[in-house]
Amino acid sequence: MKESPDTLSVERVEKYLDITKRARAKATPLVEPPSKEGEHLSVMLRMADDYASDAQHFLSIGDLVRAFGAINYAHAWIDAGVKLRWLDGHGDDVLFTLP
């Protein structure tokens, strides 16, 4: 049976965890500290990692709503880095909203 698009499940959260993990691995820095942009990017990536960790935690305790929200925040931080051209998305318009 196909899952409804408005149903939240462990499988759906795990799918988004995987997508964000692939995005985090693929995106490579175009700016580095000590530049101001590089410092900002470091903060953004730390936020992405923290939200991804939170998502894993929420999933582990069965809180699917918070897990789904957290992983989407994590991905948004990575996607923002690509959009700002601080990260290279390598032309992947599936994982990223390209500039």
pLDDT higher than 80, residue 2: no
Q: What is the pLDDT of residues 11-67, one digit of tens each?
A: 999 999 999 999 999 999 999 999 999 999 999 999 999 999 999 999 999 999 999
pLDDT higher than 80, residue 99: no
CATH 3.40.50.300 fits 10-88, yes or no: no
CB atoms within 10 A of CB 36: 9
**What's the confidence (pLDDT) of residue 23?**
98
**What's the confidence (pLDDT) of residue 6?**
85
Residue ranges per structural domain of the chain: 10-88
HEC per residue, 41-94:
HHHHHHHHHHHHHHHHHHHHCCCHHHHHHHHHHHHHHHHHHHHCCCEECCCCCC
Give the mean model confidence (pLDDT) for residues 55-81: 98
CA–CA distance, 8 with 65 (Å, rounded to integer): 8
